[in-house]
A and B are shown apart, each in its own frame.
Chain A
Amino acid sequence: MNTLFGKTKEEAKPIVLKSVDEYPEAPISLGTTLVNPTGDWRTFKPVVNEEKCVKCYICWKYCPEPAIYIKPDGYVAIDYDYCKGCGICANECPTKAITMIKEEK
């Protein structure tokens, strides 16, 4: 879970380039999305209500990112580093356990 090319998110350090000299000469990625979080353009974020969740994992299947993972206790959680806030999970959830709330930044 949350691994890309054998590395985990916890091991990865985000890359911040402060001066032009730190940039690569060509526009190539300096790492996978592990070090380049892509979830910073949301307006609404999905929030899971575990009291309503029946662990059907329909949201997990439909998430196009995928930014939904299954926790050890079986409930689903959202990975906000990659969630774009598309709302498909909330739309598909049969028990309305996921609601989209406006994100304050």
Chain B
Amino acid sequence: MEYKPIRKVVSGNYAAAYAALHARVQVVAAYPITPQTSIIEKIAEFIANGEADIQYIPVESEHSAMAACIGASATGARTFTATSAQGLALMHEMLHWAAGARLPIVMVDVNRAMAPPWSVWDDQTDSLSQRDTGWMQFYAENNQEVYDGVLMAYKVAETVNVPAMVVESAFILSHTYDVVEMIPQELVDEFLPPRKPLYSLANFDEPIAVGALATPNDYYEFRYKLAKAHEEAKKVIKEVGKEFGERFGRDYSQMIETGYIDDADFVFMGMGSLMGTVKEAVDLLRKEGYKVGYAKVRWFRPFPKEELVEIAESVKGIAVLDRNFSFGQEGILFTESKGALYNSSAHPLMKNYIVGLGGRDVTVKDIKAIADDMKKVIESGKVDKEVVWYHLKR
């Protein structure tokens, strides 16, 4: 069958819901929270209309939502959920369970700032706070990447048996309508065949216990297996991303998408919808003669260390844009990327710009101003200040 995309004008949240539908998810358990709610509302609509054969489990909290997903996934079902901010934080304990039990659940997290003060707007600190749970994390730049990301996340997750989070921005993507090229069901089915589970609790002839007590004599080996699965995932992500490109025309074989890096003095590095603005700004800056590029981190876990080293070797500086913050230290991507480069031969000048927390707009004008500041860093050959709270009212 020849690939002819079905173009629909949808919000980021509806793109996520359609991707879950096309991935033929079998179980959905979720709890409403702004700005995620319209994802699960749309899925409920698919079920009510008879468009989808999905077991929908209403629950009393996000902790229970993830617990229900774990149970469903442990029977071998393809399982989906979605949440945001406080809801994701409430899931925290269960996130460790899902990854430790090696269940390839896919969840969409709509990035929303953590309270207080109460906020419903875009901020990456919620998902990045779940860094060490063992989940993979994919950051979408636009609605198309939300849709593609969910489909690829299932394929990668079910290959390495590790759960995956697909992350999109509050409102900037979740409630903003854009054209999304969707894939005919038949072709999605070819790309994403039914799940082959590692084990199943529904096999009553061979009963098993999952996640039972492991003494100090055994626990260590299981942690190593999960660590190795993340390493393996790097390879699988590239393969799946390449296959996706060959089938549907959008290549995701790079864990870090780059632009203009060949002759760039410095690059902007960041994640999510923010990078759409950066690309726009870089196009304009190039016309004005700035030797600048961009590096959009698509997958934050597993962390694309090798790709980052390659990029860092070719530039003099990296301006890391963090729409998140780790209190007592700095932006989270900044810490991660410096750590990844420490033992490599690449030591570019690195400066951290804290931007857009709680949905503060990050505009092309802002990126241009940061470019001017970073240009001074490159020219002087030293980082004047490591971390800058860019928008701060003074």
* A-to-B contact residues, CB < 8 Å: 5, 17, 20, 23, 25-29, 32
B76-101 CB mask vs A (1 if < 8 Å, else 0) is 00000000000000000000000011
Kindly state the separation between the CA atoms of A20 and B199 in the bound complex, as whole angstroms. 19
B215-228 CB mask vs A (1 if < 8 Å, else 0) is 00010011011000
A5, A23, A26 interface centre (most CB from chain B within 10 Å): A26
Residue of A nearest to B102 (CB): A26
Q: Given A5, A25, A29, which contacts B198 in the complex, CB threshold below 8 Å?
A: A25
* B-to-A contact residues, CB < 8 Å: 100-102, 161, 198-199, 207-212, 214, 218, 221-222, 224-225, 229
Q: Given B161, B207, B222, which contacts A23 in the complex, CB threshold below 8 Å?
A: B222
Residue of B nearest to A38 (CB): B213
Q: A17-B218, A20-B224 are in contact. Are A26 and B209 (CB under 8 A)?
A: no
In the complex, which residues of chain B have a beta carbon less than 8 angstroms from the beta carbon of A20?
221, 224-225
In the complex, which residues of chain B have a beta carbon less than 8 angstroms from the beta carbon of A29?
208-210, 212
Kindly state the separation between the CA atoms of A20 and B225 in the bound complex, as whole angstroms. 8
Kindly state the separation between the CA atoms of A86 and B218 in the bound complex, as whole angstroms. 25
Nearest-neighbour CB distance to chain B for A93, whole angstroms, equals 30
Nearest-neighbour CB distance to chain A for B211, whole angstroms, equals 5
Contact B207 A5 (CB under 8 A): yes
Nearest-neighbour CB distance to chain B for A3, whole angstroms, equals 14
In the complex, which residues of chain A have a beta carbon less than 8 angstroms from the beta carbon of B199?
26, 28
Kindly state the separation between the CA atoms of A28 and B225 in the bound complex, as whole angstroms. 13
Nearest-neighbour CB distance to chain A for B134, whole angstroms, equals 12
Kindly state the separation between the CA atoms of A5 and B211 in the bound complex, as whole angstroms. 20
* Beyond A26-B198, A27-B210, A28-B199, 10 additional pairs, beta carbon < 8 A: A17-B218, A23-B221, A25-B102, A25-B198, A25-B225, A25-B229, A26-B102, A26-B161, A27-B211, A29-B208
Nearest-neighbour CB distance to chain B for A11, whole angstroms, equals 16
Nearest-neighbour CB distance to chain B for A55, whole angstroms, equals 34
Nearest-neighbour CB distance to chain B for A64, whole angstroms, equals 17
Contact B222 A27 (CB under 8 A): yes
Contact A28 B208 (CB under 8 A): yes
Kindly state the separation between the CA atoms of A92 and B153 in the bound complex, as whole angstroms. 57
Kindly state the separation between the CA atoms of A27 and B207 in the bound complex, as whole angstroms. 14
